[in-house]
Structure 1
Amino acid sequence: MTRTIKVTFDSEGVALTGNLFLPDDAGASGPLPGVVVAGTWTSVKELMADRYAERLAARGHAALSFDFTGFGESAGTPRDVEDPARKVRDIHHAVTFLAGHEAVDAGRIGALGICAAAMYMSDNAARDPRVRSLALVAPWLHDAAICEAAYGGAEAVAERVKTGREARARYEETGEIAYVPVVSATDERAAMPYDIDFYLNPARGGIPAWPNRFALMSWADWLTYDAVALAPRITQPTLLVHSEDAAIPEGAHRFHAGLAGPKDILWTQGTQFDFYDQEPQVALAVDTVTAHFGRTLA
């Protein structure tokens, strides 16, 4: 069993809100290993980070999920902007908060990134030696070549980058934020113009806490971000759990090959969205991640 504590912490003047999941017997046998958990692009903690954090707590970890700046319950503007640099900064401060908590052993901090957070957790780990171990589940890890393959070619990517930069300029001039849906089966302007059950089903990810809106200014930073290039800078023990049927497996292959430290990768079955809330994918991922942290945060 676990218990949950609502927490707030500072990220360069912005108050972030999170859930700290602890085993019921936290403190009985000394400080616990801590894990910072984050999920997909545009997500709030309730979509999948809470699920993984709670299960890690049931297995003996202090696990922190949180809303990034401008998302969910956290403060900050502009809202719902997928800004990689801002998210990496928030993760750094989440590590600071978790390492300073009385229930946590600051020398045993791990990081878990699901989908797009794999990029941001990796970026922070590459520069933050307090993170002793890294785990990535269904990781979305892209560079320019992968973005071109995923978004319709170089011209399509360039057009989205142009749209993003124009939207950013308009925001800076007027304060107006141009939004489209993150996911829609009917609106071709959506960031993901597909019928994706996870995001559209209220019993799964289509929850009130997630507004399903994508700031067009996000395109520029998202599409020019290179996560594959981070791998040679990561020396911490790193685990990937992925499927060839999930999103951009090429990125996981190339990232894993480039890692500088101890590394492991589990290829299993399932679609990208299965790893967010479906069994057996979530249970397998949590069990594998728990074993990894058990070995590397001992």
Structure 2
Amino acid sequence: MKKLLVAFTLLISVSVVAQKNTEMEKVNFESKGVKLVGDVFYPANYDQGKKYPAIIVTGAWTTVKEQMPMLYAKKLAEKGFITMVFDFRGWGESEGNNRYLEDPIRKTEDIVAAAEYLKTRSDVASKEVGGLGVCASSGYMIKAYTENAFNSVAIVAPWLHNEAIATPVYGGEESVKNLIALGDKAQKEFEAKGELQVITAASTTDKNSLMYQAPYYTEKDRGLIPEFDNKFNIASWRPWLTFDAIQYADQLPGKVLFVESESIALPQGSKAFKAIAGDKVESVNLPGVTQFDFYDKPEPVEKSVNSVAAFMTKELK
């Protein structure tokens, strides 16, 4: 009898492990020769013999896959998609020497590599792969879309800027000039000595942090999780401040979904983009929802996920 109980307990344990393995899988792929680490999530009743539509989810600046990208990825998997999150080069679990660098071009390259990996999988319908960008990675997703990495793209709480929009946000022309000079100096230090010039990304006490007293990032029950690097490479300033996401508005190969509100951090960027893109953009407005609430608050997330799932179901076919 005792042996039977032990065997039964073991069988239950094995079944639980098998179930977990069908819900999520740790994966590796390369971008520009650097190994990146991702997590793939499966829909309920996943059948490895079938091909599923798939969505890659990326998050706000300085974040890792376990933050808002994973929340959205899990919920979209519940809607019937295979979903994937990953850490960019130099962030989280991924490799890369010049770490904690918020470089839109480099991150776009990683998104394209992630899409290429996903399309090689036997359980993914290679012509039904979409991208979802939250906040800063909205622009990166859109750039990847113009490079034909995706069949459709959606963005949530869009942060879309060009130099004209970014300059007043970061203190004006003189301030931006100084930040870029700081960044260039840090990049030269790295190239000459391999040394990083890094500051804290978010803090409630360090006034020199990138995001001083910012919600979400500084809250342990929200974004301040153990996996969060919470670092910002000063060399990021030039690529970040000179990035132009607005230029891609007239290059869209198809429609893009914006899930947004008038209360997001950079509504002027969204307006500028839509003024050029016209009917290529479908917009869902969630009145009063703030930037950070789009990241993890249950009601805005649920509404955003429903909108993205409906859009992808329509556009990926």
TM range (shorter): over 0.9
| Mapped contact 1:26–1:103 kept (Cα < 8 A) | no
- Equivalent of 2:302 in 267, 272, 283: 283
Structure 1 match to 2:154 = 135
Deviation per CA, 1:228-268, whole angstroms, max 9, x where unpaired? 11111112210001111111001011112222773201121
1:295 aligns with 2:276: no
Check if 1:243 corresponds to 2:261.
yes
Q: Secondary structure at the match of 2:141?
A: helix
- Of 212, 224, 228 in structure 2, the residue corresponding to residue 210 of structure 1 is 228
Task: Could you list the structure 1 runs, at least 4 aligned residues long, displaced by more than 3 angstroms after superposition.
Answer: none
Kindly provide the amino acid, as one letter, of the partner of residue 125 in structure 1.
Answer: Y
Q: Which residue is 1:31 aligned to?
A: 51
- Tell me which protein shows more helix as a share of its residues: 2
SS of aligned partner of 2:195: coil
* Partner in structure 2 of residue 58 of structure 1: 78
Show the 5 A alignment for 1:99-248.
99-128=119-148, 130-193=149-212, 195-248=213-266
Task: Give, in angstroms, the shift of residue 102 of structure 1.
Answer: 1.3
Q: How many Å separate the matches in 1 of 2:248 and 2:282?
A: 16
The whole-number CA distance in structure 2 between the counterparts of 1:186 and 1:14 is 35
**8 Å Cα contact 1:151-1:157 kept in structure 2:** yes
Give the counterpart letter for 2:187 in structure 1. R
Letter aligned with residue 282 of structure 1: V
Between 260-269 and 236-245, the greater mean CA deviation after superposition: 260-269
* 2:35 paired with 1:12: no
Partner SS state of residue 243, structure 2:
coil
Q: Which amino acid aligns with 1:67?
A: D
| Pairwise CA RMSD | 1.5
Aligned pairs, number: 296
C-alpha distance after superposition, 1:200-254 (max 9, x if no partner): 1111111111121111011111001010111111122100011111110010111
Quickly say closer, same or farther: Cα 1:188–1:259, change in 2 above 3 A. same
Q: Is the 8 A contact 2:252 2:280 kept in 1?
A: no
Task: Answer whether contact 1:235 1:260 (CA < 8 A) is retained.
Answer: no
| 1:222 partner amino acid | W
Asked whether the 8 Å contact 1:238–1:261 carries over to 2, the reply is no
- Counterpart Cα distance in 2 of 1:107 and 1:260: 25
Q: CA deviation at 1:181?
A: 1.1
Counterpart residue identity of residue 216, structure 1: I
Q: Taking structure 2 as the reference length, what is the TM-score of the superposition?
A: 0.90
Q: Which runs of 5+ in 2 are unaligned?
A: 1-18
**Greater Rg, structure 1 or structure 2?**
2
Residue type of the alignment partner of 1:57: A
Verify the 8 A CA contact 2:136 2:160 in the aligned structure 1: yes
Q: CA deviation at 1:28?
A: 7.1
**In the alignment, structure 1 residue 86 sits paired with structure 2 residue 106:** yes
Q: Check conservation: 2:49, 2:123, Cα contact below 8 A.
A: no
Task: Tell me the distance in 1 between the aligned counterparts of 2:83 and 2:303.
Answer: 18
CA distance in 2, matches of 1:56, 1:276: 14
Sequence identity (%): 38
Q: SS where residue 202 of structure 2 aligns?
A: coil
Is the 8 Å Cα contact of residues 234 and 260 (structure 1) preserved in structure 2? no
Give the secondary structure class of the aligned counterpart of 2:211.
coil
**Which residue number corresponds to residue 271 of structure 1?**
290
Deviations 1:124-167 (A, max 9, x none): 11112x41111000011011121112111111111111110111
Distance in 2 between residues matched to 1:64 and 1:31, nearest whole Å: 15
Deviations 1:9-30 (A, max 9, x none): 1112111100101113223783
For 2:198 and 2:76, the matched residues in 1 are separated by: 35
Distance 1:275 1:225, change over 3 A: same
Q: C-alpha distance in 2, partners of 1:260/1:133? A: 16
Residue type at the aligned position of 2:268: E
**Partners of 2:116 and 2:99 in 1: CA distance:** 24
Q: What SS is found at the alignment partner of 2:230?
A: coil
